[in-house]
A and B are shown apart, each in its own frame.
Chain A
Amino acid sequence: QHKQLSGVTSGCQQGGCLTCSDYNGCLSCKPRFFMHLERIGMKQIGVCMTSCPPGFFGTRLPERNTCTKCRSECDSCFNKNFCTRCRAGFYLHLGKCLENCPDGLIRSDTQRECV
């Protein structure tokens, strides 16, 4: 059984779903789960997760928990302005994905960081 995304089964079998439909997947999530709309072809499937997928960051609020897209140059991020891993060709320094590192630091392609 293959999975589209690490840790998540689509449709109604997901552990985090509160209400769901076979066609649209999760319609609402249990408390403390993140709701994310995953695009599969033309369809959008609701997915309830304990952490947002790569390229998104989670924001917890009293009434709901949402996934929001990181900046384009980030593979993963803590919030909109703070990356935790960069896309290829960018190098991480204090939460920023830079094309060039500040003076005194060099680019590490394996870690994609200024070191």
Chain B
Amino acid sequence: MDNKAKKNALHIENVTMQFGGVVSVNNLSIDVPEHDIIALIGPNGAGKTTAFNCITGVYKPTNGLIEFMGTPMVRSYPSGKDRKNYKGENADKYRGKSVLNPTPDEITKLGIARTFQNIRLWNSMTVFENVLTAKHMRAKQNVFSAIFRGNRSEEKRMREETMELLKEQGLDAYKDENATSLPYGLQRRLEIARALATDPKLLLLDEPAAGMNPQETLELADFVQEIREKYDLTVFLIEHHMDLVMNISDYIYVIDFGSEIARGKPDEVQSNQKVIEAYLGVGEEEG
């Protein structure tokens, strides 16, 4: 790989996710170097979101290793009944090593924040509260100091940082509005702002341009690059919109039916025959 010199923020190795007899993600290996924007693309049902859910702790992968900033974060191998039914590869590679299976909140605490394909804002809260609540994880306080206001300075800091973040994202004008009353594009932006409030090192974006018009998509591309510079982030995104991916990605992985079919720089991937086939479909008369 040409990115050998750079340190990897995220290193995914031989990850397989099998649900019953269905292999959703098959032996996937991805490197996300620090400060890069890496994209994972593929047609519908290719297993992109499943891969994301393995990284963020929603699913425990059947087999494989995920390292974050050089330390193993998730590690698993098939055992018992799963082993008998296992259809993937490398079943014994991680055997004997301890199983690591952190919960989503523990992974967020390590410094991985995510957004969702279908927006998941807290709908009873204002824009301001949505971002403020995401700061709860890193606040230095306990219940008693919170109830009896012994955390006044901490609370003040959280509020100031939230305000600052909203200003930077251009959301300060909407701060007292209900989060779900915002236009769609701004809701996406708010979700990213909320993820940024957890002070991540790696940002995972699950189809950030879904449902956006071309103008909004262009703005989003600028926005992602802007926040990468400003917060020194590594970005790993899943996307359908080819324009967005080709514009901003440093490196692209393409998967279909759970397996990798191509990887490379945007122009390499664009001209790859397998990718074109996967996206356009292979005609029956040809195949």
A interacts with B? no
